[in-house]
Amino acid sequence: MGALRAIIEAFNSLGCRRTGLDTERQRQILDIWKRRFGDARGVLWSRAPGRVNIIGEHTDYNQGYVFPIAIDRDIAVAFRPNGTGMVNLHALNLHDDASFALVDPKADPAHPWMVYPMGIARILGERGVAVPGLDVVFHGTVPTGGGLSSSAALTVAFGLAYSHAAGVPVDRRELALMCQQTEHRFCGVRCGIMDQFVSLHAQRGKAVFLDCRDLRHELVPCEFPDARFVICDTRVKHELASTEYNIRREQCEEAAAVLAEFLPGVKSLRDVNIQQFKAYQHRVPSPMRERARHVITENHRVLAARQAMLEGDALRLGILMDASHDSLDADYQVTSDELNLLVSLARDCKGVFGSRMTGGGFGGCTVTLIASSRAEEFCERVSRGYRERTGIEPHIYVVQPEQGAEILTA
């Protein structure tokens, strides 16, 4: 069996064939449910996908543009009202149980993962949503720490479940903002809105072009007939990621404040074009200058990438992806040796249009656009080269744009 086929079959064995729930995965979740909570009558389901950002990195919290797709890896939540004031949780992947009271909910430090379901329940409660007591079993196929937004998928899946159980119609824009606030308030990560927004708004076969200032978005057809997106996971996550993420955001805000002294109306780096930056970049001290240069040029690349995708121009999109990675490496300094190695290996392969890191950086994943006819060879060469250089077997996924979060009728 070819490497690509093996990868796809291994991928599908985790319950990721398309949107919805794979039958075997559903059975496994319900088996655990019955052991933990008894019979499974009346169990409801929600799911929320992870995402890969094709281009537009570290622009969302600068009120800029992003261009992600949802992927066929997700968080699935089985839930049922229990008639109490408690939410009882079982994390299937971790074989861990936790509970919290809906009156003044608090997370237990012994179960760090529960901050996400607890946090979104608390925020919904503050907005007047009467979240009922629930029994919950959840399972994820989004790699944690891989830059594919497992935390956003977890928060969104629970936000949908709570809203449905409370009988409240879901405003997806508002729910995305509440999920973002969960990470700000309870996780200490000042993330942008992209991850939560795409998980809630994505559609199969479409990329989401999002203006992070006003949340206007466009669903852009993303189906190249002769090219595929491939995710390569370094399986490395450096501990400085969350602290450095917040530092980058502060540096961008400082750069915008300096430029605003010379450019009236500038509220964020989104408001500065390339020509204006060139005229005043000498006024911005380093490293704020380099951070600003990345964000300003990246916004320009996202706009160009949208046009390339509309025209089906894989070559142009790949060039923009390459430029994005080089900027993230040199100016934003959020890559890692492992990410740079994967990108270098990818660029040496025949049929590759472009390759870049995706996500917050300092480990995690790359995304590569490659000719479909070369995908199997690509997977074999990159896997072998990375393993020989690092001793780590990378995880490689061929992905396509998938459906956003939903309540299922399983």
Looking at the annotation, which residues are catalytic? Answer: 195
Distance CA 57, CA 400 (A): 19
Do residues 230 and 370 make contact, with C-beta atoms less than 8 angstroms apart? yes
DSSP 127: T
How many C-beta atoms surround the C-beta of residue 30 within 10 A? 16
Q: Which amino acid is at 50?
A: G
Q: Which amino acid is it at 70?
A: A
> Is the bond preceding residue 49 a cis peptide, omega within 30 degrees?
no
Phi/psi of residue 264, each to 5°?
Answer: -55, 140
Name the nearest CA neighbour of 22 among 32, 31, 30, 12.
Answer: 12
Cα separation, 90 vs 92, in Å, equals: 6
Beta-carbon contacts of 386 under 8 Å, excluding residues fewer than 6 positions away, are 232, 234, 338, 341, 342, 345, 392, 393, 394
Is residue 199 a contact partner of residue 140, using CB atoms and an 8 Å limit?
A: no
Longest dimension (CA), the chain: 68
- For residue 71, the 8-state DSSP code is E
List all residues 6 or more positions away from 73 whose beta carbon is below 8 Å from its beta carbon: 14, 16, 49, 50, 141, 142, 143, 148, 397
Whole-number Å distance between alpha carbons of 58 and 61: 7
Pairing of strands 134-140, 86-91: parallel
As given in the structure block, the two tokens for residue 58 are 């570290």
For residue 186, give the DSSP letter: I
Q: Which H helix or E strand runs over 7?
A: helix 3-13
Cα–Cα dist 259/271, whole Å: 10
Q: Let me know: does 371 contact 345? Beta carbons within 8 Å.
A: no
Other beta carbons less than 10 A from residue 379's beta carbon: 25
